Amino acid sequence: MRIAFVSTILGYPWGGADALWTASAEAAAREGHQLLMALAPKTARHRRIRALIARGAAIRHRRRHADTGSRRWRVLQTMLQLVGRPSLVKRLQQFDPATVCLCQGGTADFLVEPDLFSWLKRAQVPYVILCQANRDDSKFSPEDLRAGRDILSEAKAVVFVSRHNRVLAERQFGISLPHAVEIQNPPPLRDWPELAWPPASPIKLATVSRLESTAKGLDLIIPALAASLGHQSDWQLDLYGEGPDKEKLQQLAAAHGISDHIHFRGFVADISTIWQDHHMLLLPSRFEGCSIAMMEAALCGRPVLATPVGGVDEWIVDGETGFVAKDISPAALVDALRRAWLARADWAQMGSAAKQRAHQLLDPHSGDKLLKVITGAVI
């Protein structure tokens, strides 16, 4: 079968939002399907994508969404075709897919791909939509709501990585999605290490994410830490990851007088090394799909303190396997941090409970499940 994976994630390198569709593409390659991947150049450089290309998958680099019929866009597409680089739609026509999987960073990314969906409708190509993050405060115009309802309804399946985001999407678009499917994001490891509980002092907290404030809420957690733990001396926060807001976050920590507690550690390939000497993950995101960092921390036996987004309510039980803030606000994070600090003698036990719950929830076959949904769209 000829399967096209089209990603809307154009601004970031390969990351957690790519894990599920990549696992599905790998399963498709093993079964002998022919693949076309339309991806950002940053994404295409990842070792797993390069391995798929080496196995015969075709690649089409994307730098812009298939958006609008503006004069500037038409001129750009004409220039690309003159130099032998067809538009996304032209490339899809050449590939002639039996089905297309749209791999979205945000649940409503399809709204910036009107040319793609016009072609899918004209060519009568079945499609599956894979939705990662969704945010509670998204606002849509009446026109976008109508377009969104049509696109979601006409999909052969709409895949969500958390129940929270499925319910939120149905509420946002005022539509029931009986063809929605929930499939878990796959964490990178199959065998999770047994890690000893770290030394009691200092209390070491960690974030594992892009250093990007808007989505990841890192601009919320720094002032919340200052308000809740700033008077304590026996703690530190290590931020793992790279991103555009590092300097901004450094300045924010200095402004709140906690620079000595905040450390930027950069990217770490082996996540388990983080949890060898850290006690708790902080996940203050404004929106998520289902955070792989959260899953990894729990699978390593560490409690998680999080905002109520994405799959948090499925993986974290407040007061038992971690702490869930009442909402996405500085005040709610301050309250959760204070509760967590007072209960820090129980964190080891909570981490054990988090690990047990995570192993009960973990699905090692999520990539294969997505492939079954994609190939089933053709039947």
> What does the alpha-carbon distance between residue 329 and residue 224 come to, in Å, rounded to a whole number?
9
Q: What is the pLDDT of residue 377?
A: 84
Same domain, 165 and 214: no
Q: What is the pLDDT along the chain (379 residues), one digit of tens a residue?
A: 999 999 999 988 999 999 999 999 999 999 999 999 999 999 999 999 999 999 999 999 998 776 544 444 444 444 444 334 579 999 999 999 999 999 999 999 999 999 999 999 999 999 999 999 999 889 999 999 999 999 999 999 999 999 999 999 999 999 999 999 999 999 877 778 889 999 999 999 999 999 999 899 999 999 999 999 998 999 999 999 999 999 999 999 999 999 999 999 999 988 999 999 999 999 999 999 999 999 999 999 999 999 999 999 999 999 999 999 999 999 999 999 999 999 999 999 999 999 999 999 999 999 999 999 999 988 6
Is there a domain that residue 23 lies in?
Answer: yes
Same domain, 102 and 176: yes
> What does the alpha-carbon distance between residue 323 and residue 342 come to, in Å, rounded to a whole number?
12
Q: What is the pLDDT of residue 191?
A: 78
> What does the alpha-carbon distance between residue 271 and residue 264 come to, in Å, rounded to a whole number?
15
Same domain, 146 and 234: no
CB 322 within 8 A of CB 305: yes
Same domain, 212 and 274: yes
Q: What is the pLDDT of residue 66?
A: 62
Helices (H) and strands (E) in the chain, counts: 17, 13
Q: What is the pLDDT of residue 85?
A: 53
Q: What is the pLDDT of residue 84?
A: 43
Radius of gyration for the alpha carbons in the chain, expressed in angstroms and rounded:
22
Strand partners, 181: 159
CB 34 within 8 A of CB 1: yes
106 φ, ψ (degrees, to nearest 5): -120, 150
Q: Do the bridges between strand 127-133 and strand 203-208 make them parallel or antiparallel, or are there none, so unpaired?
A: unpaired
Is there a domain that residue 97 lies in?
Answer: yes
Laid out side by side, the sheet with 34-39 consists of 58-61, 34-39, 2-7, 99-106, 127-133, 157-160, 180-182
Is there a domain that residue 323 lies in?
Answer: yes
Same domain, 254 and 353: yes
pTM surpassing 0.75?
yes
Torsion angle defined by CA atoms of residues 317, 323, 329 and 330, in that order, rounded to the nearest 10 degrees: 180
Is there a domain that residue 133 lies in?
Answer: yes
> What does the alpha-carbon distance between residue 194 and residue 179 come to, in Å, rounded to a whole number?
39
**Cis ω on the peptide bond leading into residue 187 (within 30° of 0)?**
no
Q: What is the pLDDT of residue 207?
A: 98
> What does the alpha-carbon distance between residue 165 and residue 253 come to, in Å, rounded to a whole number?
32
Q: Which two tokens stand for residue 212?
A: 């990007």
Same domain, 21 and 92: yes
Domain count, the chain: 2
Same domain, 161 and 268: no
Instruction: Note down the domain range covering 284.
Output: 203-361
Q: Which two tokens stand for residue 35?
A: 């693949």
Same domain, 259 and 288: yes
Is there a domain that residue 243 lies in?
Answer: yes
Q: What angle do CA 199, 317, 333 make, to 5 degrees?
A: 75
Same domain, 342 and 372: no
As a residue count, the chain comes to 379
Same domain, 37 and 179: yes
Is there a domain that residue 124 lies in?
Answer: yes
Same domain, 154 and 212: no
Q: What is the pLDDT of residue 70?
A: 47
Q: What is the pLDDT of residue 194?
A: 87
What region, left, alpha or beta, does residue 124 occupy, with left being phi > 0 and alpha being psi -120 to 50 degrees?
left
CB 46 within 8 A of CB 54: no
Q: What is the pLDDT of residue 379?
A: 63
Q: Which two tokens stand for residue 303?
A: 């409690």
Q: Which two tokens stand for residue 87?
A: 């538009």
Same domain, 166 and 213: no
Q: What is the CATH number of the domain that holds 81?
A: 3.40.50.2000
Is there a domain that residue 193 lies in?
Answer: no
Is there a domain that residue 195 lies in?
Answer: no
Non-local (6+) Cβ contacts of 270 within 8 A are none
